[in-house]
Amino acid sequence: MSFEVLLAGQLEWNFPLMAVFICIALLYLYFIMQFTKIKSYKKQAIFFIIGIGLLFFTIGSPVTAISHLSSSFHMIQISILYFIIPPLLLLGIPAQLERAPFIKKRKKLLFPPMLALAIFSLMFFLYHLPLGTGFLFSNTYFHITYLFLLFIISLRMWWPLVSPFEKKQLYKKQINHYAFLSKLLITPACLLFIVSALIGGMDNHYITHFTSQLCIPPAFATSNILPFPFNTRLDQVLAGTLMLGIHKLSIMSVLQIKFLDERSNQV
């Protein structure tokens, strides 16, 4: 079976969402040029625009459907969504916003980053449990809501490492400790795929959900839809490894960017 048949009608671009993201990008550029000293070509603006572009590419393009064809594809999409896009968006926040009255009043209402890290890690782990994945894929609204909440929490989780407001509040030792905890708490969700593959493997619930709606004999294994190594134990090991690698690379990159920023400010 060709994957084009499985994803018939889903390989489309979400143009309304594209229009929304273009408006957000234009409003952002207007704001920073009018109310800050940042120019549109500066790195803060570049980080934010890349983040918005990646966010649309991840959730509003055919990549959204294609990513569910195998565990490794899906983990790359999820890793980009939660480990790359949030820090890029936060890196684009001008430091001048710290002095804005509406920011000062609402900063105290945010829950602590450590709590966000713990909640995100738990929800992220539950999302990749077979029971949790099967339930969410069976209800589109629950699935979208769950992913949206994860994204909002991920922004707060990345806040201490990326936000320009935290530079004076966190010492390097504290930042490194928080980064270590982040890697430690995210690891169980990544290891879940590797351990499951070694034990016996997990079903791809997305393909199972769609093949159940097609006239496919029950004896036809969903693992046969795509060629080797997709939807095999090797694919699941690769998925867990990729997620671990992307998360670690993202943290290393963020810390390096923040370190270079602090050095440039001291010069």
What CA–CA distances, in Å, run from 263 to 45, 47, 266?
Answer: 20, 19, 5
Q: What is the dihedral of CA 4, 8, 10, 15, to 10 degrees?
A: 100
Three-state SS at 171: coil
Tens of pLDDT along the chain (267 residues)? Answer: 445 545 544 567 889 999 999 999 999 888 887 777 666 557 888 999 999 999 999 998 888 877 777 778 888 999 999 999 999 999 888 776 655 555 555 555 577 889 999 999 999 998 888 777 777 777 778 888 999 999 999 999 998 888 766 554 556 778 888 999 999 999 998 888 788 777 765 555 555 555 444 444 444 444 555 555 566 778 888 888 999 999 999 999 998 887 776 666 555
Distance CA 184, CA 236 (A): 20
Distance CA 30, CA 109 (A): 27
What CA–CA distances, in Å, run from 164 to 23, 27, 89, 218, 254?
Answer: 24, 20, 12, 54, 12
Stated pTM of the model: 0.83
